[in-house]
């Protein structure tokens, strides 16, 4: 079969490798930098500071589609010339329009990093860890005009390592991308040899989570140490967690938990402080040692020690 791969970062590269290993032909690729950057800027970036995706597709000598959007006339015209059987999508920010979805002979297939219909939306790596899930996976599904709702072709499951040294959002992404490589190889091989019957998603089992927002990255000290740790792990390495003290926000560097051997039990209470570290009680009566604090803002690094010394007091409660 003739395959066009559209995507970004590790999911993009693993889908390409899996498609090639399945002995199908990758006739074109479309990287996200084409959408994100103006062609003039991208031209110089590719010369002086080439990105991983550009270097990867050049190393394999793949044909690169040049357009500003998957829904553009330029993209459509090049797809018509390449005449693919499948457009394969992995990590993409644009919503595909129906005329583009219907261009390939067989269909447009998305690789979504969750077990659909659960965890539709843009941040499943983070959300499954935040919610304390024990497993996740990838879903290959036919795309339709909505987000992550099309019929399922294949799913693969993986376990999520729990506990204080468990999976982060980053390690889980790596696992899902590796799984996508073997998964697309298996799916394309099966499609060449047998009939794959798509299975409609169950609406009653569906869940959707939007982009991570401000309230999602704030630590709530009424929660347990395990829940707080899950939040910090989920956001790693892309986004730091924050704590709120009065009307100020402080970025968290790292966090460790200890048994509470004091007589204090009020969640959110600051028990101790030093230069860039505070000790705070959690909702299940543990002590969170929060290291590497930094005030939010351009000059946060400079003024953090002064803020902790003069503005934070023992007995203060983090919101």
Residue written as token pair 């879903």:
139
pLDDT score for 15:
98
Domains of the chain, start order: 2-205 (3.40.50.170), 214-310 (3.10.25.10)
- Please check whether residue 25 is in contact with residue 60, taking contact to mean a CB–CB distance below 8 angstroms: no
Nearest to 158 by CA among 181, 135, 178: 135
* Per-residue model confidence (pLDDT) at position 143: 97
Q: What is the pLDDT of residue 299?
A: 73
Quick check: 107 and 142 in contact, CB under 8 A? yes
pLDDT of residue 297: 82
Q: Token pair for residue 280?
A: 């705070």
0.85 cut: is pTM over it? Answer: yes
Determine the pLDDT at residue 195. Answer: 85
Strand order, beta sheet including 242-245:
242-245, 248-251, 294-295
Please tell me the predicted confidence (pLDDT) of residue 301. 78
Radius of gyration of the chain (CA): 23
Residue 103 CB neighbours (<10 A): 19
In order along its 319 residues, the chain shows pLDDT tens digits of 999 999 999 999 999 999 999 999 999 999 999 999 999 999 999 999 999 999 999 999 999 999 999 999 999 999 999 999 999 999 999 999 999 999 999 999 999 999 999 999 999 999 999 999 999 999 999 999 999 999 999 999 999 999 889 999 999 999 999 999 999 999 999 999 888 999 999 999 999 999 999 999 999 999 999 999 999 999 999 999 999 999 899 999 999 999 999 999 899 999 999 888 999 999 999 999 999 999 988 777 788 989 999 999 999 999 7
């Amino acid at each position: 079969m003739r395959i066009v791969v559209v995507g970004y970062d590790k999911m993009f590269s693993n889908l390409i490798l899996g498609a090639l290993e399945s002995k199908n032909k990758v006739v074109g690729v479309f990287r996200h930098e084409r959408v994100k950057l103006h062609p003039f800027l991208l031209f110089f970036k590719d010369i002086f500071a080439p990105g991983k995706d550009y270097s990867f597709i050049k190393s394999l000598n793949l044909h690169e589609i040049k357009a500003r959007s998957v829904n553009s006339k330029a993209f459509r015209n090049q797809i018509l010339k390449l005449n693919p059987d499948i457009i394969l999508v992995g990590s993409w920010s644009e919503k595909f329009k129906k005329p583009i979805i219907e261009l390939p002979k067989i269909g447009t297939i998305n690789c979504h990093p969750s077990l659909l219909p659960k965890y539709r939306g843009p941040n499943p790596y983070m959300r499954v860890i935040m919610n304390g899930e024990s497993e996740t996976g990838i879903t290959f599904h036919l795309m339709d005009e909505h987000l992550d709702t099309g019929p399922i072709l294949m799913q693969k499951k993986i376990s999520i390592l729990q506990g204080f040294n468990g999976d982060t959002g980053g390690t889980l992404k790596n696992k899902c991308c590796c799984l996508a490589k073997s998964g697309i190889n298996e799916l394309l091989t099966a499609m060449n040899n047998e009939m794959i019957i798509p299975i409609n998603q169950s609406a009653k089992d569906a869940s959707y989570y939007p982009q991570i927002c401000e309230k999602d990255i704030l630590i709530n000290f009424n929660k347990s140490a395990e829940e707080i740790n899950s939040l910090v792990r989920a956001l790693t390495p892309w986004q730091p967690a924050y704590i709120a003290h009065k009307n100020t926000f402080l970025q968290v560097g790292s966090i460790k938990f200890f048994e509470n051997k004091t007589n204090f039990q009020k969640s959110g209470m600051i028990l101790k402080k030093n230069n860039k570290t505070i000790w705070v009680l959690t909702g299940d009566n543990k002590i969170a040692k929060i290291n590497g604090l930094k005030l939010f803002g351009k000059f946060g690094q400079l003024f953090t020690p002064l803020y902790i010394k003069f503005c934070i007091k023992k007995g203060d409660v983090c919101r």
